[in-house]
Amino acid sequence: MSKQQTTPFFRSWKVVPILLAFHVAIQGLILTYITSHLPRLTEINFPPTTIEDAQHIASIFTSYKETHFELLILFHCSCFYLQGKLVLGGALFGIKLGFVLCVLMNTVGGFTCYLISKLFLSDIVHNKLRDKFEALSERVKEHSNNLFFYLTFLRVFPGSPNWMMNISFAHISAIHWYQVFFSIFIGLMPWNFFTCEGGEILSQIKSKSDVIKPETYLQLAAIAIAFLIPPLAKRFFLQEQDVKVKKQ
């Protein structure tokens, strides 16, 4: 009888909790260092419930940016896993620097998930997530002629399961690492840009009267319309693929 092959410990999912604990420890040290060097927040309402509260917090971070610029960037980068980081980037650093920081953070984060999956999560992807993995593999096979475009397109669409793509693409032989990296980098640019722009717009609102200004409504409406473009484009793309399949 042949012995059942087992995955070496350092190539199994059991390493991931160790990496996670190490990551949390490093993040804790970074945040402790940052907060120990920044002035303490006093007498603020958090989370803000009024425009005045939000204004007060924004003024504090603005003063931080002027006196502790490097620490504020480090703080923002260390919070890459938190919701609202894109809006925060636009509000704190403006559309130019905020957009660059957010694109780089998202690209590094997504590609790191890809590498972790490639090294340690083979068993989980092929066993626990088999159905989703096989479905995604089949879709990739259908678009082998325009693979990079398809991978980038999936990233552009806000509703795509990025976490599943990050861990699954590592185990599809047709997909190369550089295709994953640049599809994340390029594909997430639109979402990052419009979200950072939304944060910059919100940071410019100083009072309730600013909220009802026509310019503000037009800017927010433009952002909302921009968010509709990816799903409409995806629907058109899928319809084109269906037509090609039927002709074959």
Each residue's pLDDT tens digit, 50-60: 656 666 666 77
Task: Kindly report the pTM of this predicted structure.
Answer: 0.67
Res. 1 pLDDT band, cuts 50 70 90: very low
Yes or no: say if 76 and 96 are a contact pair by the CB < 8 Å rule.
no
pLDDT at site 221? 64
Ranked by mean pLDDT, the top range of 128-142, 174-188, 234-248 is 174-188
pLDDT at site 215? 66
Q: In terms of pLDDT, which residue wins out, 36 or 176?
A: 176
pLDDT at site 144? 80
For residue 47, cis peptide bond before it (omega within 30 degrees of 0): yes
CB-neighbour burial class of residue 66 (10 A; exposed 0-12, middle 13-18, buried 19+): exposed
State yes or no: pLDDT of 107 exceeds 80: yes
- Which phi and psi angles does 239 have, rounded to 5°? -65, -40
Mean per-residue pLDDT for 74-88?
A: 63
Mean per-residue pLDDT for 62-89?
A: 68
- What's the mean pLDDT when you consider all of the chain? 74
Q: In terms of pLDDT, which residue wins out, 6 or 115?
A: 115
pLDDT at site 4? 47
State yes or no: pLDDT of 117 exceeds 80: yes
Rounded CA-CA distance 96/142 in Å is: 37
Rounded CA-CA distance 21/210 in Å is: 45
Number of Cβ atoms within 10 Å of the Cβ of 129: 16
Mean per-residue pLDDT for 105-116?
A: 88
Paired tokens of 97:
């620097």
Rounded CA-CA distance 161/195 in Å is: 18
Paired tokens of 76:
């923002």
Query: To the nearest whole percent, how much of the chain has pLDDT over 90?
Result: 6
Paired tokens of 14:
């059991």
State yes or no: pLDDT of 180 exceeds 90: yes
Q: In terms of pLDDT, which residue wins out, 15 or 116?
A: 116
pLDDT at site 2? 43
